[in-house]
Amino acid sequence: MANIAVGGLASTMLGPFLSVFLNSGLGISVGAVSFLFFVSGLFGTFSVFVMGWLVDRVGRKKIYAFGNLSATVIPAALSVITNFAQALPVISLSGLMDSASRTSQTTIIADQVEESKRNTAYGVSRIVGNAAWIVAPLIGGVILASQGFHSLFLLSAVLGLMALIIFLVLVPESRRPGLEKPSLPKLSVLKNKDLLVLCVASLFSMLFYSQFYSLLPIFATQVRGLSTLEVGALFSISGATVVILQFPTSHYLDRIPKQTGYILGVVILAAGITSIGIAPTFEWLLVSVILMTIGENMFFPIASVLVTEIAPEAERGMYVGIFSLFLGLGGDSSPLLGGTVWQITGNPYLPWLLSPVYAAISVGLALYYRLRHPLRN
């Protein structure tokens, strides 16, 4: 958890301002910035299944360490690039390394925590990771306003290196000795209909959710006239919402069927994202962000629990990898889709207002999954 905390500080100090750096710092258009995030996501998405296989094959720790290098390597590279052609390989590499980190972290938690307590464990990991959002975006905004992007990149890289060292020293390999090691990645796991339904439902949720991180900073500054400090405050309050409400949310979710919790998460998440498009001021945007974050608190832990529950222990990494692949496809397409809709129509509100369409498909699939299974906590 210490690794997650320090690594989260490194990434969240920089993350909210990356699209602003690419757009205003390097002069790359909104559409091209969206394309960069899309390509990065493609690298992460189409590598994540292989990463899941490697997690099962060579061990959790090695793959997670590789992914953690992203928090040091990427900020260092960003500090020296000057144009789109140089940004493309750097942003693409970040997607590859992030996929290694996400897949192995989910699997490590599942290895170390018994099934009945995994929802709480994933909630705790979100609290630790999001605690950084309380202060890191504000710190990043202050550094950016006073010293510029290069100082921000340097501090982020140093913190990322600290997180990697903490992990290597304190965290042992979590894969249980004696488990069969898969010889090759197997897409045949998608024959599990429950996994396939969860994957597709979650993909459509990501289609409206992920544009929040790439388009909100541009939307807030260019359309609503917010400062970088106010943008940082929005992300900070989102992180504080996770820290304050994740435990009560997890406690509530433990008392209702998991399928119901998943559906509630999607609905609340969509309500928050949609309302961004009609929020006229900082205060109203703040309400939208808090609502979206409550949906996050429900959706992501429950989705992770559902997937690890249906996965055989020896293939847990591959199941998580396949699920992450679908999350990645939705997440990668989201900023490209939203940015393209914005650029083609000239309407910055439309990407947010399309969210209920994607959410309806996700909820419909989740209801189908619920019909296939007896309701249980």
Average pLDDT over residues 198-212: 91
Residue 182 lies in a domain: no
Can you give the CATH number for the domain in which 267 is found?
1.20.1250.20
Average pLDDT over residues 254-283: 91
Which residues neighbour 60 within 8 Å (Cβ) at sequence distance 6 or greater?
Answer: 104, 107, 108, 111, 173, 174, 175, 317
**Residue 84 to residues 78, 81, 360, Cα–Cα distance (Å):** 11, 8, 36
Tokens 């498909």 identify what position?
A: 361
Residue 109 lies in a domain: yes
pLDDT in tens, 67-90: 888 888 888 899 888 899 999 999
pLDDT in tens, 91-147: 888 888 887 877 777 777 777 777 667 667 777 776 776 677 677 777 888 888 888
What is the average pLDDT value for the chain, to the nearest integer?
82
Residue 105 lies in a domain: yes
Count of domains forming the chain:
1
Report d(CA 336, CA 325) in Å as an integer. 17
Residue 325 lies in a domain: yes
**pLDDT at residue 354 greater than cutoff 60:** yes
Looking at residue 259, its pLDDT comes to 84
Residue 195 lies in a domain: yes
Average pLDDT over residues 149-158: 88
- SS3 per-residue string spanning 316-357: HHHHHHHHHHHHHHHHHHHHHHHHHHHHHHCCCCHHHHCHHH
Scanning 210-315, the segments in alpha helix (DSSP H) are: 211-218, 228-253, 258-276, 282-310
Average pLDDT over residues 180-184: 60
Q: Which of 314, 365, 298, 362 is nearest to 119 (CA)?
A: 298
Looking at residue 128, its pLDDT comes to 74
Q: CB 59: neighbour CB atoms within 10 A?
A: 17
pLDDT in tens, 15-40: 778 888 888 888 888 778 878 887 88
What is the residue range of 274's domain? 2-171+189-372
Residue 377 lies in a domain: no
Specify which of 171-175, 213-217, 223-227, 333-337 reaches the highest per-range mean pLDDT. 223-227
Backbone angles phi, psi at 81, to 5 degrees: -80, 155
Residue 120 lies in a domain: yes
Average pLDDT over residues 297-308: 86
Residue 134 lies in a domain: yes
